[in-house]
């Protein structure tokens, strides 16, 4: 098949959780530009619909739906609505994240709150959307983890910056778990025409304090933080037939920071 056809997502339906967020918007844009119909979901219906409408003005077929990952009933409603409105799901980008824990010594209840969304809730939505993809004939699941699910924090990046550097441990814990869970899913669903891969990004530039950006970029061989385009190609590769033989993999995308 022609290579550009291999990358095409025409006639595919994708779900991106947290699609109004920082990486979520880039992921949605990439999938939409490759031809997919994209459903973006998060808790605030107004925000998600406004984001979706913004994408539609650029000619992308993006739809907003409400879902709270911590609430099983809400996830089941999302699944039903996708089924009802589009009749299928081919691609799930498991991207939403909640960051309720505010540092190493924060009240342990904040760790628990994080797990409700990022571990238990995440497992539930992953299982449900996997079932929907299998019922649709197969497809691709892309789990978004982080370089912080693979490597310990680089504390020197935060030197000299007030209010940064007290890294919350829940984030490293659930992102590391997701990398393994993704491999588990790949083997558990063998023979069902579904692939599971993880993308572990580095820091996205988002107007962080200048000193932090300087500290960070000094360590990156490409001398910059990630930009909004960096994740798009990899997501489309993993979502499309161009990545048809990539399964159970975790791909670090950090500009060489952890090389």
Q: Which residues bind ligand NAD (CB under 6 A)?
A: 17-18, 20-24, 42-43, 67-70, 95-98, 117, 144, 146, 175, 201, 203-204
Q: How far is the CB of 45 from ligand NAD (least distance, A)?
A: 11
Q: How far is the CB of 194 from ligand NAD (least distance, A)?
A: 20
What's the rounded Cα separation, in Å, for the pair 220 and 215?
10
The vertex-38 CA angle with 253 and 174, nearest 5°, equals: 45
Return the number of the residue (2 or 207) whose C-beta is nearest ligand NAD. 207
- CB-side exposure of 21: number of CA atoms within 13 Å? 18
Q: How far is the CB of 181 from ligand NAD (least distance, A)?
A: 13
Return the number of the residue (128 or 241) whose C-beta is nearest ligand NAD. 128
Q: How far is the CB of 82 from ligand NAD (least distance, A)?
A: 15
Residue least distant from ligand NAD (Cβ):
21
Return the number of the residue (6 or 182) whose C-beta is nearest ligand NAD. 182
CB atoms within 10 A of CB 58: 10
Q: How far is the CB of 259 from ligand NAD (least distance, A)?
A: 16
Q: How far is the CB of 76 from ligand NAD (least distance, A)?
A: 14
């Amino acid at each position: 098949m022609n290579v550009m056809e291999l990358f095409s997502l025409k006639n595919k339906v994708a779900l991106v959780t947290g699609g109004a967020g920082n990486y979520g918007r880039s992921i949605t844009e990439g999938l939409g530009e490759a031809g997919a119909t994209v459903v973006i979901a998060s808790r605030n219906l107004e925000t998600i619909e406004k984001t979706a409408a913004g994408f539609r003005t650029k000619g992308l077929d993006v739809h907003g739906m409400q879902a709270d990952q911590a609430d099983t009933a809400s996830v089941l409603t999302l699944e039903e609505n996708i089924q009802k409105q589009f009749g299928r799901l081919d691609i799930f980008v498991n991207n939403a994240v909640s960051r309720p824990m505010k540092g190493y010594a924060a009240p342990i209840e904040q760790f628990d709150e994080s797990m409700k969304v990022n571990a238990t809730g995440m497992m539930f939505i992953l299982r449900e959307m996997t079932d929907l993809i299998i019922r649709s004939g197969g497809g691709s699941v892309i789990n978004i983890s982080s370089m912080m699910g693979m490597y310990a924090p680089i504390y020197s990046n935060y030197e000299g910056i007030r209010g940064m550097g007290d890294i919350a441990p829940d984030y490293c814990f659930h992102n590391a778990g997701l990398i393994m869970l993704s491999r588990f899913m790949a083997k558990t669903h063998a023979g069902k025409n579904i692939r599971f891969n993880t993308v572990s990004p580095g820091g996205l530039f988002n107007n962080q304090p200048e000193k932090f950006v300087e500290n960070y970029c000094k360590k990156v061989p490409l001398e910059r933080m990630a930009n909004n385009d960096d994740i798009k190609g990899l997501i489309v590769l993993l979502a499309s037939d161009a990545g048809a033989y990539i399964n159970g993999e975790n791909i670090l995308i950090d500009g060489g920071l952890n090389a």
